[in-house]
Structure 1
Amino acid sequence: MKPQIAIIADDLTGAGDSAVQFVRCGWETQLYVGGSEDAFALGDMQAEVVSVNSNSRAMSPQAAAEAVAREMQTFRKHDVRHVFKKVDSTLRGAFAAEIEAARSQWHENAIAVVCPAYPDTGRTVEQGVLLVNGVPVTETSAGTDPVTPVTESSVPALLDCKLISPQYDDTPASLAEKIGESGSIVVVDARSDADLKRLAQAIVLLGERALPVGAGGLAMAMAAAWAGSHISGEIVLAVVTSQHSATRAQVAALQKQGATVLTPEPEALADDSVWQQWQRDQLAGQTLVQGSNSVLVVLAPVAQQPGLSSAVVALRLGQFALEVVRTGQVRGLIATGGDGAEQVMSALQATGIRLIDEVSGGVPLGTLIGGEYAGMPIVTKAGGFGAENVLIQAAETLRERKFK
């Protein structure tokens, strides 16, 4: 197996904390103690993502640049599609020299997109200044590091490059346009995981010429963004048969995030000819074409109809799920309510689920076994279970994880 993505870190722990972000997003990942030449020479590489250590943290700028250049040359020789350059989240080491060496070896028109923010550990980049829990990095212990003391908190000043401070209304596309017009190295502010997610999506839009440079925060966002770019289909389809108030609140939260919710009338569900026409109307309309990252929820009605059992409702919604999947637009499924989950799997002729992980406690994630749609990702959830945002988390997982 040829690796698609390479991570080049300046020390072993950095190589590890970035690599694990890709594991969490479903990438087959291997971490090597040494460099890329050693990794390929061992002949046991069975990974989509390879993380290596240039061991250059304490080197002089020239030596560090040469070490990083060697790693980049090896990965270019082996046709790696993407490189993530891991740097220290407190700017230690030969920061500028390593970034320029990586950029110059990547592509002729490469852009190094730099953001060492890692909000989960208190690192943010605001107006170009790296803050650690709100304090400029030079005023922390990194400023007095005995081996590689940090003397500058402004990342653009360190790199002599432009800064982009994204605006609230910036989209990944508009941010990508700004980055593309800002020179060969650009620093981008980020205060939150949402900022990093938007930046990662912009980097994907820039294509292979973009070289993301950062710490574990950007690594996590890139792992999800690159995974999402490998998934076919645009729609996450949720089938909800549960009448539990917890599930209804979860659907409402998902709808507030922009999901489309379809609730067929009981009269349509009770009559076969009316039901068939309802399905045709939905499939012929624009409901299923909401663009990238859309979520479609098919929700059982609360109202009752004489002679309409919950089993028939689940059967109908399972049938409609199959018709939606047949459009080729579905990238993953969510099934809430045991009867609905069973009918969705029956309609798709799936015989089981290969379990992979949990979206959250008690909400399993897997891929379908058997049938024409074997391998399609699916999340199942009991009706009265989970926090209010659990369906939002499930949809994000299906969009941002790589599946076999």
Structure 2
Amino acid sequence: MTLRIGCIADDFTGGTDAAAAFRRAGLRTALVFGVPGSDTALPAGCDAAVVALKSRSAPVREAVADSLATQRWLRTRGAAQIYLKYCSTFDSTPEGNIGPVTDALLDAAGARTTLACPASPPNGRTVYKGHLFVHDEPLSESPLRHHPLNPMTDSSLPRLLSAQTRHRVGRIDLATVRGGADGVRDALRAGERDGVRHLIADALTDDDLAVLGEAARGLPVVTGAAGLAEGLGRACPLAGAAGPEDLPPRGRAAVLAGSCSARTLEQIARFYAAGLPSLHVDVLAAAAGRDVIGDALAWYDVQDPGVPVLVYASASPEELAAVQRQLGVAEAAAHVEELLGGLAVRLVERGVRRLLVAGGETSGAVTTALGVRAVLVGDEADPGVPWTHASTPAGGLALMLKSGNFGAPDLFVRALRTTEAEEPV
């Protein structure tokens, strides 16, 4: 198998978002969870492969090692270009690993310059004059400044990245981008000549990202969010060749939510308002030794099998802060992952065949618990939120992994409609 492009994503929902972008560009795309081994197999005929790591908040040394191992695996499968996909809200801390990972990938590829752009216009992320915006607000003034793991307190991408790398960081302005791919290539060559390793490009629209994708087609390493991934995908010679994937199987449906983002909380509220069964699991009770999984399964077993259910550990910022004060940030997150990962296994054993998971860390816990290593990417329910097709010991499974901030408010209800009719499950 010869891949056209290989992608390294720093979390599981970010990997799903990038895989959806390549699929949208017309590439038959596989999504692999965790650092692949020599025996990790891809579905036949893939043009792109996305490897989703859990490195977004990992220590620099670990993130670099996992990313380099993944780069080697992708290159042995023919991927001449590596795309490093990180969150469209970047990483605000000097201790973040985007810079070190990018530098390590460039060194391994023998490359001196890369293009970076975390814009994702369908999700309201744009870059202008080197600053990252969330809809109409600078990143540092948006609700994401309160992110529980990576608070986004600065919107200047050159400043953020300069704190993470010893190499020079420069910019490609919007006027250059709007001038076309040749102008962007000239800017990349000038940056390489002048010793600028990281060139951050402005982008306000998908058309801007298409220009960047065309300009970056020959670079060994490119970095950004899902928007630029789609631009790169559309620049591939095979773009548009992928056919439709199978629809999600019929069967019982469930949502597991661990994200505490404002959008996920809104989606939970919309699910509850639709009169659908919802259960909140108590992380503090689990930490105290209560069989919270057993309680949740007892609740699930008496629900109507014809309607989807929601089990969530998500909480408001105030509730989350209270739990973190008692358990600590890492311990609280570990309990959520253990609860929802264990519950996913038991639900699939009980016949759930459509499973929607909200939250990057939660998605990692669920796929790990289910033993799912690779999936084929299908169509999207919302931008960046596709169905994927997996196999488990209990049978076929349609799996949707949703970033906490992604999806329309009614996603939980709408995505779990039947695939053969427009009536709720």
TM-score by length of 1: 0.52
Matched, 1:97 2:95: no
Indicate the residue corresponding to 1:165 in structure 2: 173
Residue of 206, 215, 222 corresponding to 1:212: 222
State which structure, 1 or 2, has the greater radius of gyration over its C-alpha atoms.
1
Indicate the residue corresponding to 1:18 in structure 2: 18
Matched, 1:176 2:200: no
Which residue type is aligned with residue 167 of structure 1? A
Q: 1:202 to 1:229 in 2, by over 3 A?
A: farther
Indicate the residue corresponding to 1:123 in structure 2: 125
Q: Distance in 2 between matches of 1:228 and 1:166?
A: 28
Indicate the residue corresponding to 1:200 in structure 2: 213
Superposed displacement of residue 44, structure 1: 4.3
Residue of 224, 245, 258 corresponding to 2:234: 224
Q: 1:36 to 1:180 in 2, by over 3 A?
A: farther
Matched, 1:108 2:110: yes
Q: Distance in 2 between matches of 1:223 and 1:117?
A: 15
Q: Distance in 1 between matches of 2:66 and 2:153?
A: 23
Q: Distance in 2 between matches of 1:116 and 1:222?
A: 13
Q: 1:230 to 1:144 in 2, by over 3 A?
A: closer
Q: Deviations over 1:357-394 (max 9, x none)?
A: 9xxxxxxxxxxxxxxxxxxxxxxxxxxxxxxxxxxxxx
Superposed displacement of residue 45, structure 1: 4.0
SS in 1 for 2:175: coil
Q: 1:167 to 1:60 in 2, by over 3 A?
A: same
Which residue type is aligned with residue 214 of structure 1? G
Answer whether contact 2:33 2:52 (CA < 8 A) is retained: yes
Answer whether contact 2:120 2:226 (CA < 8 A) is retained: yes
Q: Distance in 2 between matches of 1:5 and 1:228?
A: 11
Deviates more, 1:80-89 or 1:25-34: 25-34
Q: How does 1:4-403 map to 2 (within 5 A)?
A: 4-37=4-37, 40-46=38-44, 47-92=46-91, 94-105=97-108, 107-160=109-162, 161-167=169-175, 170-182=179-191, 183-204=196-217, 207-209=218-220, 211-227=221-237
Superposed displacement of residue 177, structure 1: 0.8
Superposed displacement of residue 126, structure 1: 0.6
SS in 2 for 1:184: strand
Aligned positions, number: 227
Which residue type is aligned with residue 131 of structure 2? V
Q: Deviations over 1:117-145 (max 9, x none)?
A: 01111100011000001212122233222
Answer whether contact 1:36 1:75 (CA < 8 A) is retained: no
Superposed displacement of residue 115, structure 1: 0.3
SS in 1 for 2:78: coil
Superposed displacement of residue 48, structure 1: 1.7
SS in 2 for 1:71: helix
Q: Distance in 2 between matches of 1:44 and 1:154?
A: 38
Which residue type is aligned with residue 2 of structure 2? K
Structure 2 runs not aligned, ≥5 long = 163-168, 242-378, 380-425
SS in 2 for 1:221: helix
Superposed displacement of residue 229, structure 1: 8.0
Which residue type is aligned with residue 203 of structure 2? A
Answer whether contact 1:166 1:175 (CA < 8 A) is retained: no
Q: Identify which of structures 1 and 2 has the higher relative contact order when contacts are C-alpha pairs closer than 8 Å and 6+ apart.
A: 2
Q: Deviations over 1:180-221 (max 9, x none)?
A: 2112211011111111111111112xx143x22111111111
Indicate the residue corresponding to 2:358 in structure 1: none
Q: Distance in 1 between matches of 2:200 and 2:2?
A: 31
Q: Distance in 2 between matches of 1:18 and 1:227?
A: 18
Which residue type is aligned with residue 185 of structure 2? A
Superposed displacement of residue 100, structure 1: 2.0
Q: 1:64 to 1:141 in 2, by over 3 A?
A: farther
Q: 1:141 to 1:100 in 2, by over 3 A?
A: farther
Q: 1:229 to 1:145 in 2, by over 3 A?
A: closer
SS in 2 for 1:130: strand
Superposed displacement of residue 67, structure 1: 1.9
Which residue type is aligned with residue 173 of structure 2? S
Answer whether contact 2:59 2:97 (CA < 8 A) is retained: yes
Answer whether contact 2:114 2:219 (CA < 8 A) is retained: no
Q: Distance in 2 between matches of 1:16 and 1:58?
A: 18
Answer whether contact 1:88 1:215 (CA < 8 A) is retained: yes
Superposed displacement of residue 72, structure 1: 1.5
Superposed displacement of residue 116, structure 1: 0.2
Runs of 4+ in 1 over 6 A off after TM superposition: 228-231
SS in 1 for 2:236: helix
Identical counterparts, % of pairs: 28
Which residue type is aligned with residue 222 of structure 2? P
